[in-house]
Amino acid sequence: MKTYIVGNWKLNFTVGEASIYLHKLLKNLPNYRDVEAVVAPPLIALQPLSLQVDRHKLKLAAQNGFYRDYGAFTGETSYTQMRGMADYAIIGHSERRYIFREDDKMVAKKVAAAIRNRITPILCIGETESERAFGETADVIRDQLIGGLSEVSDDDLDKVIIAYEPVWAISSVKAAKLATPDEVAEVVKLIRKVLKETYGAEFAESVPVLFGGSVNPSNAGAYLTVPGVNGLLMGGSSLILKEFLDIMETAKRVRS
């Protein structure tokens, strides 16, 4: 199974800045065989960067998209329109859930739309600090996982990636705390248990599970060695060229 290093640029970089950064990244990024490098630029930069990117070294992801393919939906962009530009799509990110109020039904529609348009969804799930404090982690993970996959057919389950990102550990959250490798291992084990009970052992064992939560070069190695973790979803470190390259190199070392 591949190791995935996914950088979410969020609301950063103009189109020009994104192009310059991508040029520098491609110039310095080796072509790793078993480590997939992915960046998710702002939507406005996705199209021009798709013409610039070397897909042998790096893939592009969409940060968001609409679940309908066409229609009278002013201001939205569909996954159909991103086909051929984005290889992956981040869906259900905590900022979409908690700032923009996207629920599991909306997330499920977007997951299905991405698959329909041959874009691999990275389904993000994770509990808040209060949910964890009240012992609700297992219920939240189960609900978001099953809810997010509810419109995916059995034949398409192998087209999904899961990302565990505890909201309380994301660097953009006030007073964020670092998740320990043991805490991550506990939830990743839970994720695979829920998937096994719902979809069977084969899918539970084969689906890639990523971790995201204040990932940086100093802790990337520890998270990548957590049993059942197949990669990282990061924010701030993906905006700093050296840090992104360092994490890629760490992933290569862990992989080998």
Could you give the residue numbers annotated as active site?
93, 165
Whole-number Å distance between alpha carbons of 253 and 70? 44
138 Cβ contact list (under 8 Å, min separation 6): 190
3-state SS track over 6-35? EEECCCCCCHHHHHHHHHHHHHHCCCCCCE
**Amino acid letter, residue 101:** R
Q: Which residues pair with 161 in a beta bridge?
A: 122
Say which DSSP state 68 is in: S
Say which DSSP state 72 is in: S
Say which DSSP state 120 is in: E
Contact (CB, 8 A) for 50 and 22: no
Residue closest to 150 by CA, chosen among 109, 97, 189, 200: 109
Whole-number Å distance between alpha carbons of 125 and 144? 6
